[in-house]
Every structure is written in structure tokens, then in C-alpha cells.
């Protein structure tokens, strides 16, 4: 199906759903500003087009690399794209809304990182029903299918792949609005309850004269889908291990695990 044919289906679907003249919808139409509509749910955008018109956009979104002979048929490339769209959408939403004097670049970075973190993406995936879709997409006899459905990294990557698919087929404006809507609970939580596990851990350790160090112990996956594993050590002893799509995220996760250990010892 050509891009023009896909757009024609999207145009007809939106016009029908919103009860507007199809002529009002073109490549540059802004979903909320021009059509006065609420933002599109990420999964609904993909699923409804499939159900109504047979436009198969989600086959690749729910295909794990171990389920296909060609890695390019899996969700990894879409997740790479969606990760960038997600970060930009949240950044563009935050930037004009938060006072420059109170929210400098460092604070904005932490809020964004918390909003788009692995646990946040997993929560969105669960709300969108991704685990059920992933189970349904698993080939008969696929190994580790149950474990994959419960893996944070997999669910987070599929959330990003959904965003990537929506971006390719609906453009940035509509996808960004849907992203902000989908991540609204995580965004509000990050603003109201900012988390910096590394700083909290260091403050706790400083009370007893200890210092924490972080070391990257493993790097997994191809360059565009790399996962880092980091170990937090105190006095040469490992106190927590974490994994993330960046070294900073992995360090935060390692600090979180270390804090749980401290709380358990208390």
C-alpha cells in the first residue's frame, strides 16, 4: 500500500470519527488545534485502522526479534524511532509550561527522564493492553513468550515501537498529542514527586561516611537498541545492580535497588 493510499484511509477514518469534511484534513492538519478534537490514543490509532481497513501496521510492532528470521521484521527499528519521538514530545510539552527560573535544563532533564523511563513505558504498555497483544502475536511454540510479556524492557520497547509506527503513519503533531495524553499520569507524578535515587542514596550513605561508585558491567544489544547494566558499589561491595537504555538510567535503577537494600536493613 502506498503512502497516498494509507493517508487516504487515515483521512477518511478521521473525517468519519470526527464528523468533519475530509477536505479539512491534509498532511499539515493539527489534530487538536485545527480539528478541535481530543488527542488520539496511541494504540487506538493503530488498532482502529487495522480493524476498519486492514492496514497492517502492528504486525511489526508486536514482533520480537527472536520470533523472526530477519531482525528488520521485528519492532527494534520502530522502537529506536519512537524513543526519539517520545523524548521530543515530552520535552516540547514541558518546555513552554514550566518557569525558566525554577526549571533549568538539569531539572527538566530529570523530569523527562523519569517520565519516559522503563517503568513509565511499561505502565503505559499495560494500560494500552500490550501484554495481551504480545501474547496473541507470539508464534505457536515460541520459547520464553510468557517471560517476554512480563519483561519491562520488552514492554517499554513496544510502547516506543507503537509511537514510532504512529509517527510514520500519522505524523508528529497527532502522535505527540497522543504521547502526552498516554503519559499524563507518569508526567504528573514526575512533576509532583521527582525522583533522584542517586542523590538520595548518596545522602543516606554520607550520614555514615560512605561513598557510592557506579561501574558499567555489561552492554547488550545492537548500537541502536543498547541496554547498559550498572553495578553500584560501596567500599568495593556491590549494593545494587540496574539496567537501562542509557548509562544514566541504569545508574538510577542501581541506586534504587541499593536504597531498597538499605531500607531492608533498617
Domain-wise residue ranges, the chain: 3-192, 197-265
| Residues labelled as active-site residues | 83, 160
Query: Model-level pTM?
Result: 0.63
Q: 39: which residues sit within 8 A by CB, 6+ positions away?
A: 31, 32, 174, 177, 178, 180, 181
Assign a CATH topology to domain 197-265. Answer: Double Stranded RNA Binding Domain (3.30.160)
Query: 213: left (phi > 0), else alpha (psi -120 to 50), else beta?
Result: beta
C-alpha span between 53 and 153 (Å, rounded): 31
pLDDT under 50 in the chain at which residues?
A: 1, 32, 38-40, 53, 55, 266
Residues 201-254: tens digit of each pLDDT: 988 898 889 999 999 999 988 776 788 999 999 999 999 999 987 888 889 889
**What is the reported pLDDT for 264?**
62
DSSP string, 20-72: --GGG--TT--TTTTT--PPPPHHHHHHHHHHHH----HHHHT--GGGSSSGG
Assign a CATH topology to domain 3-192. Answer: Ribonuclease iii, N-terminal Endonuclease Domain; Chain A (1.10.1520)
Q: 162: which residues sit within 8 A by CB, 6+ positions away?
A: 42, 43, 46, 58, 61, 78, 82, 128, 130
Amino acid at each position: 500500500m502506498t503512502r497516498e493510499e494509507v493517508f487516504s484511509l487515515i483521512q477518511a477514518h478521521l473525517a468519519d470519527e470526527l464528523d468533519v469534511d475530509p477536505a479539512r484534513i491534509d498532511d499539515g492538519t493539527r489534530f487538536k488545534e485545527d480539528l478541535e478534537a481530543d488527542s488520539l490514543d496511541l494504540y487506538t490509532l493503530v488498532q482502529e485502522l487495522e480493524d476498519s481497513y486492514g492496514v497492517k501496521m502492528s504486525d511489526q510492532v508486536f514482533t520480537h526479534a527472536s520470533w523472526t528470521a530477519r531482525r528488520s521484521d521485528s519492532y527494534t527499528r520502530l522502537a529506536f524511532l519512537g524513543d526519539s519521538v517520545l523524548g521530543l514530545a515530552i520535552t516540547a510539552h514541558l518546555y513552554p509550561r514550566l518557569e525558566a527560573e525554577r526549571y533549568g535544563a538539569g531539572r527538566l532533564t530529570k523530569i523527562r527522564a523519569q517520565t519516559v523511563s522503563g517503568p513509565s513505558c511499561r505502565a503505559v504498555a499495560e494500560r494500552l493492553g500490550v501484554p495481551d497483544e504480545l501474547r496473541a502475536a507470539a508464534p505457536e511454540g515460541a520459547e520464553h513468550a510468557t517471560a517476554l510479556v512480563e519483561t519491562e524492557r520488552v514492554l517499554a520497547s513496544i510502547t516506543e515501537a507503537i509511537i514510532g509506527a504512529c509517527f510514520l503513519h500519522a505524523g508528529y503533531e497527532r502522535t505527540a498529542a497522543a504521547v502526552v495524553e498516554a503519559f499524563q499520569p507518569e508526567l504528573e507524578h514526575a512533576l509532583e514527586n521527582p525522583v533522584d535515587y542517586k542523590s538520595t542514596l548518596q545522602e543516606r550513605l554520607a550520614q555514615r561516611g560512605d561513598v557510592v561508585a557506579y561501574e558499567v558491567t555489561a552492554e547488550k544489544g545492537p548500537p541502536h537498541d543498547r541496554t547498559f547494566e550498572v553495578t553500584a558499589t560501596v567500599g568495593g561491595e556491590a549494593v545494587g545492580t540496574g539496567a537501562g537504555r542509557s548509562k544514566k538510567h541504569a545508574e538510577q535503577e542501581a541506586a534504587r535497588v541499593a536504597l531498597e537494600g538499605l531500607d531492608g536493613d533498617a
